[in-house]
Amino acid sequence: MTTTNSILFKPSKIANTAINNRLAVAPMTRVSAESDGKVGPLMKGYYENYATGGFGLIITEGLYTDELHSQAYLNQPGIATSAQADSWKPIIAAVHLKGAVLIAQLMHGGALSQYNHLSKPSIAPSAVQPKGKQMPAYHGEGAYKLPQAMTEQDIEVAVQGFVDAALRAEKAGFAGVEIHGANGYLLDQFLTEYTNQREDSYGGSLANRLRIYQQILTAVRESVGEALIVGVRFSQKKVNDTQYVWAGGEEAAKSTFAMIKECGADYIHTTEPLLNNAAFGEGESLASLAKKYSGLPVIANGGVSDPQLATDVLESGQADFVALGKIALSNQDWPNTVKNSNSIKGFNYSMLAPLVDLENAQRFNKDELGAA
Ligand SMILES: Cc1cc2nc3c(=O)[nH]c(=O)nc-3n(C[C@H](O)[C@H](O)[C@H](O)COP(=O)(O)O)c2cc1C
């Protein structure tokens, strides 16, 4: 069924960067960095495997942006210092040598911060207790901390944190940056009505709730060179709220995606539980709406394991690239596996338990091999 002529393997581009095929690795936090935020010993092999396995595009796990409040997890890698950024150089070189494009995801945890090596309190648009519980697989326990409401100056500092992080990513040699605007973290806390109760120019209307995205994207685009890809990720669901749907429906999607295009972003990455499901009960998927209202290249993510679904999404024009998360964890060579018509290994949650780190995955893989 799927052959090398498949749309999955057709080269494409984001801005001026050529990408070998339509298959991306979704950003996945693996809490396997050193305690100072530099990359840990297992990370190079891990990222290199995806490139060897045939993925054209690899988006890193979320890297924290500043040495203030942005860190979300113990052993999360950062890009808040030059030393942290430079520690990625061997990974960047290895991945690029294999022909894949590596993009750094820039992330501020906001109210969902479970750990900060400087013992800073968490900050958020408003002092609202986050829903749900911290995630044990990422070293968390119990309720989230009550965040401090950000002052306008805190917002300026956080925006600048993204800009400086993007500059460090560029200098280290990443092909691009993805601003993490999804999954309930800081930017998504601004976008979401119930976590943003501000009465200033960052709260209230959709345009106000999107202001921080606009400021970050515009400032990053102005600060980095033209060749650096600048993308942004959106979701409706959050790690601590899997039911949330954008209140403004398609109209909100239209304004959001059109604004993103105006800021000079090069692509939009959407994630939904199932990438091609209607975003608002009926009608088009979030990916499809992003494409329609921005005209930008779109990466769609969520729920893909078999090549047919990925092919359908690309052929129907809903997206230009498909990003794989969990199935890529169990098949780091998913593109080559599909190309060679080999069978895809099912994803097993035990791989991420008790921790989502790479040491645990290695142990799991050894046990699997032993059992085989
Ligand atoms: C272990 C793990 C870590 C993740 N970390 C991140 C992250 O750092 N940034 C992000 O945007 N999404 C993160 N995600 C979400 C994935 O990028 C993806 O959206 C999600 O797994 C759904 O796609 P899938 O159905 O292909 O797995 C993570 C998911 C997993 C399983």
With a 6 Å cutoff on the Cβ, whether 32 touches ligand 1 is no
With a 6 Å cutoff on the Cβ, whether 304 touches ligand 1 is yes
CA-CA distance, 143 to 42, in Å (whole number)? 30
| Tens-digit pLDDT profile for residues 287-327 | 999 999 999 999 999 999 999 999 999 999 999 999 999 99
**Percent of residues, the chain, with pLDDT higher than 70:** 98
With a 6 Å cutoff on the Cβ, whether 260 touches ligand 1 is no
With a 6 Å cutoff on the Cβ, whether 269 touches ligand 1 is no
- Report CA(246)–ligand 1 centroid distance (Å): 20
Nearest CA to ligand 1 atom 15: 28
- Report CA(263)–ligand 1 centroid distance (Å): 25
Q: Is the pLDDT of residue 339 over 90?
A: yes
- Report CA(367)–ligand 1 centroid distance (Å): 24
CA-CA distance, 77 to 84, in Å (whole number)? 8
pLDDT tier at 367 (50, 70, 90 boundaries)?
confident
Pairing of strands 17-19, 12-14: antiparallel
Nearest CA to ligand 1 atom 14: 28
- Report CA(109)–ligand 1 centroid distance (Å): 14
Q: What is the set of domains in the chain, with CATH numbers?
A: 7-371 (3.20.20.70)
With a 6 Å cutoff on the Cβ, whether 29 touches ligand 1 is yes
For 79, residues 6+ apart whose C-beta sits below 8 A from its C-beta are: 63, 64, 65, 85, 88, 104, 106, 165, 168, 169, 172
Beta bridge pairs of residue 241: 238
Give the pLDDT score at 75.
98
| Tens-digit pLDDT profile for residues 221-235 | 999 999 999 999 999
Beta bridge pairs of residue 232: 179, 268
| Tens-digit pLDDT profile for residues 165-186 | 999 999 999 999 999 999 999 9
Give the pLDDT score at 368.
79
| Tens-digit pLDDT profile for residues 93-125 | 999 999 999 999 999 999 999 999 998 899 999
CA distance between the termini of the chain: 28
Q: Is the pLDDT of residue 2 over 60?
A: no
Give the pLDDT score at 372.
54
Give the pLDDT score at 3.
64
| Tens-digit pLDDT profile for residues 202-211 | 999 999 999 9
Q: Is the pLDDT of residue 366 over 90?
A: no
Nearest CA to ligand 1 atom 19: 271
Beta bridge pairs of residue 235: 271
With a 6 Å cutoff on the Cβ, whether 215 touches ligand 1 is no
